[in-house]
């Protein structure tokens, strides 16, 4: 018996121990299980949903939509969310003319800016020209008496000659006769040394007259001295070159007869040449006499010649609308040949710094000039400016931009298109899709959509089952189409302002008895996005839109794509 009792006691103790162990283990595991359960039951923070305002045209046109759609080329309209057209938190209020572009879009567009700054505005005026000989260094060799070419010393055109070098020998009977007269006069003076003073004076006058005649015929002093020493006339005389240069023209031939004044040789000094450049009419006011000029030629493309403008011709060529200018330049090596083509560059510019921007920053529309100014990071503002002198890469700004302001120099046409879009859609001034005139229904019928600002301020439409009440007057009725244009007052349930728009009648019978000009009270619903249908309409005593009206007795409907 004792043995059985002992065994039962041991079994009970074992059971109690096992139960205690099981309870302890369970109590230790409960906290973790509770933590897991609480963690699983805690709601995860939901991502913040952005409010969709409208869809805009992907090509930047002034067209928006409240529902997804495609443009004529099949491109999807781009969604615009709340906050994309509004200032960033804490930022100063933006100008109505500003357009906001995200940093990602700025990088994709390749927008670059540069600060407007004070600069010396320089410009290079370019003109095409031709090299010509200096007209003051062209000499003609002629004879003042009749004679014959006895011998040619220079017998080729283009041959270089030195000053005093004989060109040809000439024989003239008249010249020989004059020399003999002078020689006889000299002999008479010697023979009449013992004669009276009057006789000597008369003979001296005869000799002087003969000598003057020889000098007038261009006998050189050396030739006259040789005649006085020898007393014998020379059969021929030499004609020397009057200057060092090039024989540019030769008409003398061996044995030919020449007459007084006939040109036999032409010698040109090419140590200095002219460049006659045809300057554009619009640049003539920038160039002054005395300005330095750089000349390049096709023959020596890597070499620049320096010259100076010495004369601006007083006449304009009507055919080319250009004015010739003369550039004088030294030509010691005679690389520059007459009739060569040349390019002339003249640097002109102001004497004091002026406010300038890069010329790529100015958008010229033909009637005005626009510059896109970066107001702050991601915000751009188009401004109309007055421009002045244009330089090589910069243009002077007289009005519209301040020193230090950042202006867009790349992708500014894209930003200007964006700002024009904003100006167009904000110019509606009323609810999206509604015109300001009584015929605004025409715009709705043609498929107009709400502007971005109006769509942004308009809440999402109520479900189609909910009706909206309004009152107003009938502008127009189209029985065949089953539509009517209503000039209605405010609609509190949709937060609409008073406006004129087109509705669709739920059935044609609702239009019976209605006529333009009637004051009505009506009720409508949105059957589908953008389509508003009048379900009841009743004539009321004539009163201004917006005041309470008695309950409606009839029904009608309408569609407007702008809502």
pLDDT confidence of residue 163? 93
Kindly indicate the confidence band of residue 510, based on its pLDDT and cuts at 50, 70 and 90. Answer: confident
Last-in-domain residue among 234, 261, 288:
261
Which residue range(s) make up the domain with 330? Answer: 272-349
Q: State which of 261, 289, 309 marks the end of a domain.
A: 261
Crossing angle for the helix pair 221-230 and 173-191, nearest 10 degrees?
A: 50
Cα 83–Cα 86–Cα 89 angle in degrees, nearest 5: 80
Residues 341 and 360 in one domain: no
Q: Is the CB of residue 303 less than 8 Å from the CB of residue 256?
A: no
- Highest mean pLDDT among 20-24, 51-55, 193-197 belongs to 51-55
**Is the pLDDT reported for residue 498 higher than 80?**
yes
**Residue 322, domain member (yes or no):** yes
CATH code for the domain of 491: 2.40.50.320
Return the higher-pLDDT residue of 323 and 532: 323
Q: Say which CATH number the domain at 387 has.
A: 2.40.420.20
Between 203 and 402, where is the model more confident?
402
Is the pTM higher than 0.75? The answer reads no
Q: Average pLDDT in the 258-269 region?
A: 94
The answer to whether position 314 is within a domain reads yes
Backbone phi, psi, residue 266, to 5°: -130, 125
Instruction: Point out which residues pair with 374 in neighbouring strands.
Output: 380
Confidence of residue 45 (pLDDT cuts 50, 70, 90): low
- Give tens-digit pLDDT for 162-205: 999 999 999 988 888 888 888 888 778 777 777 777 777 877 88
List Cβ neighbours of 52 (8 Å cut-off, separation of 6 or more).
79, 80, 81, 82
Q: Do 340 and 379 sit in the same domain of this protein?
A: no
Q: Are residues 454 and 375 in the same domain?
A: no
Question: What is the count of structural domains for the chain?
Answer: 4
Within this chain, do residues 533 and 446 fall inside the same structural domain, yes or no? yes
In a domain, 76, yes or no: no
Q: Are 243 and 289 in a shared domain?
A: no
Q: What is the pLDDT of residue 115?
A: 92
Q: Which helix (H) or strand (E) holds 82?
A: none
Each residue of 271-305: pLDDT tens digit? 999 999 999 988 888 888 999 999 999 999 899 99
Q: Is the pLDDT of residue 33 over 80?
A: no
Residue 243 confidence (pLDDT) above 90: yes
Whether residue 93 lies inside any domain: the answer is no
Query: End of a domain among 333, 349, 365?
Result: 349
């Amino acid at each position: 018996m004792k043995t059985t009792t002992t065994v039962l006691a041991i079994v009970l103790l074992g059971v109690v121990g096992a139960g205690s162990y099981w309870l302890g283990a369970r109590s230790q595991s409960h906290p973790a299980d509770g933590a897991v359960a609480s963690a699983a039951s805690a709601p995860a923070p939901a991502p913040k949903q952005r409010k969709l305002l409208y869809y805009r045209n992907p090509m930047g046109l002034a067209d928006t939509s409240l529902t997804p759609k495609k443009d004529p080329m099949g491109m999807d309209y781009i969604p615009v969310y709340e906050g994309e057209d509004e200032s960033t938190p804490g930022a100063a209020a933006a100008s109505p003319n500003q357009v906001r572009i995200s940093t990602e879009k700025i990088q994709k567009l390749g927008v670059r800016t540069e600060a407007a700054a004070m600069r010396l505005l320089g410009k290079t005026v370019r003109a095409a020209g031709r090299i010509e000989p200096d007209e003051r260094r062209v000499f003609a060799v002629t004879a003042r008496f009749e004679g014959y070419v006895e011998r040619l010393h220079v017998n080729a055109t283009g041959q270089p000659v030195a000053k005093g070098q004989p060109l040809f020998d000439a024989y003239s009977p008249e010249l020989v006769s004059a020399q003999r007269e002078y020689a006889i006069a000299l002999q008479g003076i010697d023979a009449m040394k013992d004669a009276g003073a009057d006789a000597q004076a008369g003979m001296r006058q005869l000799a002087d007259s003969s000598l003057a005649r020889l000098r007038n015929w261009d006998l050189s002093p050396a030739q006259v001295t040789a005649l006085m020493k020898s007393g014998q006339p020379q059969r021929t005389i030499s004609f020397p070159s009057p200057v060092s240069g090039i024989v540019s023209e030769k008409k003398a031939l061996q044995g030919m007869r020449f007459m007084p004044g006939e040109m036999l040789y032409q010698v040109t000094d090419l140590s200095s040449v002219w460049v006659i450049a045809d300057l554009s009419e619009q640049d003539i006011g920038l160039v002054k006499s005395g300005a330095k000029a750089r000349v390049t030629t096709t023959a020596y493309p890597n070499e620049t010649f320096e010259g100076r403008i010495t004369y601006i011709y007083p006449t304009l060529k009507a055919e080319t609308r250009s004015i010739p200018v003369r550039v004088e330049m030294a030509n010691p090596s005679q690389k520059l040949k007459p009739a060569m083509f040349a390019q002339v560059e003249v640097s002109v510019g102001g004497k004091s710094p002026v406010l300038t921007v890069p010329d790529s920053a100015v958008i010229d529309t033909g009637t005005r000039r626009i510059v896109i100014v970066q107001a702050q990071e991601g915000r751009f503002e188009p401004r109309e400016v007055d421009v002045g002198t244009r330089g090589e890469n910069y243009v002077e700004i007289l009005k519209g931009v301040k020193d230090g302001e950042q202006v867009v120099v790349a992708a500014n046409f894209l930003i200007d298109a964006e700002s024009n879009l904003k100006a167009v859609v904000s110019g509606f001034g009323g609810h999206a899709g509604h015109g300001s005139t009584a015929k605004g229904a025409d715009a709705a019928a043609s498929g107009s959509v709400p502007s971005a600002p109006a769509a942004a301020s308009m809440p999402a439409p109520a479900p189609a089952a909910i009706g909206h009440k309004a009152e107003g007057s009938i502008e127009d009725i189209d029985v065949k189409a089953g539509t009517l244009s209503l000039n209605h007052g405010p609609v509190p349930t949709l937060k609409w302002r008073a406006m004129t728009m087109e509705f669709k009648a739920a059935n044609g019978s609702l239009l019976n008895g209605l006529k333009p000009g009637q004051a009505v009270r009506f009720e409508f619903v949105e059957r589908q996005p953008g389509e508003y249908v009048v379900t009841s309409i009743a004539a009321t005593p004539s009163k201004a839109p917006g005041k309470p009206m008695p309950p409606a007795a009839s029904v009608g409907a309408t569609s407007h794509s702008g809502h």
